[in-house]
Chains A and B, each alone.
Chain A
C-alpha cells in the first residue's frame, strides 16, 4: 500500500526507490530501461534540475516522454547540447565530471561487479550471448559513484560472475584504488526486494533496507551467496501517491507498441 492506501507493483517500488537516490542538480549518466525511467521519475517528482546525460551524446536532455532507446529524437531536441560519441566518452565521462552512473546487470556479485557479456562457461560458445559492454565499463570506472538497479533473483545475484564486464569493488575494499580508479564504484544497489550498500570496511554488498512486506529470508533465498545484512534493516518508505502517480504518468508516455 502506498502512503494513501494505493496498491503498487514490486517493480514500481524499485523504480521509485532508485529515483529517490537521485538528488537534484546532480549530473547523471543514464542507461536505457529501468535507469532511464527512474532518472526521469526523479526529474518529475523531486529533482527538476537533475542533469541527464545519455551516451548518444545528449547532455542535459529533458525528455517529455520515455524514450525507447538512448538515441530517440526527444533526447536530441530537448538536450542542452548534443555532442559526438567520442566527445561524450572522452571529454565528459573519462575525466570524472559525471556524478552518478546508473547501471543494470544480467549478473551481479557480492562486490557489485557486473556481467552483461555472456552466460555460460566458454566465451567462444556461450549458453546465452548478452549484448556486451556498451558504455558500462567506463561508466562504472569514471563516474563519482554508481547506482545499480536490478531485479533480485538467484540467476542475477550470483556467487561468481561468468564474466566481469564492469568493475564494482573488485574482490573487496582497496581494489579500486589499487587499479587507479578515482570513482567510488557502486554506492547502492536497488532491487525489487530491498536496498543493498557496500559495507564500509569490506565493501561487500550488505542489505540495509527491506521494501514493505519483504522478509529477510525472502531476500536471502533470492541471493546466490550468504547475504550479509545490517542488524536492523530499515523498511523502505512505501511509494507516496505523488511518486506512484508520477511513475504511472511517465510509463503511459512510452511509445505505444
Chain B
C-alpha cells in the first residue's frame, strides 16, 4: 500500500540532492506542484529526466536545481524557446547543465526497457542523424536473427519518478485518463515514485481508456488539487495556454524570472497536508 503524505513530506522523503528524477506528463498532467516543492526545498545536483522538459523544468533549471538533463525536446509547445534551459546551455547560468539528448522514440523505449527490467531497448531510430555523435547512450546493434543493424538505447531507471494523476483511492491505487503519455512506464522504471492527485475518492469508478497504477507499485500519494497547472488534468481543468505564452516574457530575463519565482513559488505556501 502506498503512503498518503502531504506534498511537503513526500518531496522531503523521496527526493534527495543528487538524485535522478523523472517528472513525466506529455503536455497533460504535468506535475507542476511537485516541481515547485522541489524548488522550495532547495534540491541541488539533480539529474532531471523528461521527454519534453517544458516550463516546469525551465523553472527547476533556472533555479539551479539540476546538473544534468536527459531529454528529447526542450521547448515551450506552440510558443517557442525555453529561455532558462537555453541560458543554462548557452551561458552555463546559473550553473552548467550537462545534456544527454535523445529522440522521443528513443526516450519512450528507454522507459519501456526500464519498466520491463531489461538493460536496453531496440528500435529503428537515429539513422543518419548527428545525435549519436554527441550522445554515447545511442549504439548500433545487430539483430541475431536477421543480421539487420538496429539501434540500442539503455534503460532509464530514475531513482524517483513523479507524476500527476486525476485521482487515487485511500489505498493509494491511482487512476489517470486522457493523454497518459509515458507515465506508467516512468513509474514502473523508477526505484520509488510519487503520484500527486487532484483528489482522493472512496472508490475508483471506471473511466473509458483510463490507466490504473496499483498501490503496490506506488511509494507515496499526495493530494495536490490543481497540481498540474498551467498544464491540465482532463475532467478537472483545462490547459492554461495564456500562462504558457506569458512564460516566454517572464523567463526571457534572469531578474524578471527570479522575481517571478520568488513571488509565485518560493513565497507561495505549500499546499495543505493531506487530511
Taking Cβ atoms with an 8 Å cutoff, the residues of A that contact B are: 32-33, 55-58, 67-73, 75-77, 82, 84-86, 89-90, 93-94, 117, 123, 125-138, 141-142, 163-167, 170, 175-176, 179-181, 255-257
Contact = CB atoms under 8 A, between A and B. Distances in A.
Contacts of A166: 129
Contacts of A163: 130
11 contacts: A56-B179, A69-B77, A69-B239, A71-B27, A89-B104, A90-B108, A126-B90, A137-B125, A141-B128, A179-B128, A255-B242
B78 interface: yes
B232 A85 contact: no
Contacts of B238: 73
Contact of B128 (A73, A134, A175): A175
Interface string B122-166: 011111111100100000000000001100000000000000000
Given A86-B111, A131-B73, A134-B72, A170 B27 contact: no
- The 8 A-B pairs with the shortest beta carbon distances in the complex, nearest first, are A71-B27, A131-B75, A167-B128, A69-B77, A134-B73, A68-B78, A89-B105, A255-B241
Given A71-B181, A129-B90, A131-B75, 18 more contacts: A32-B77, A68-B241, A71-B26, A85-B181, A86-B108, A117-B131, A131-B73, A131-B81, A132-B71, A132-B74, A133-B102, A135-B105, A137-B105, A137-B129, A138-B103, A141-B127, A165-B129, A165-B131
B184 interface: yes
Contacts of A67: 78
Which range contains the number of B residues in contact with the other chain?
35 or more
Interface in B205-252: 209, 232, 234, 238-239, 241-242, 244-245
Contacts, number: 176
B101 interface: yes
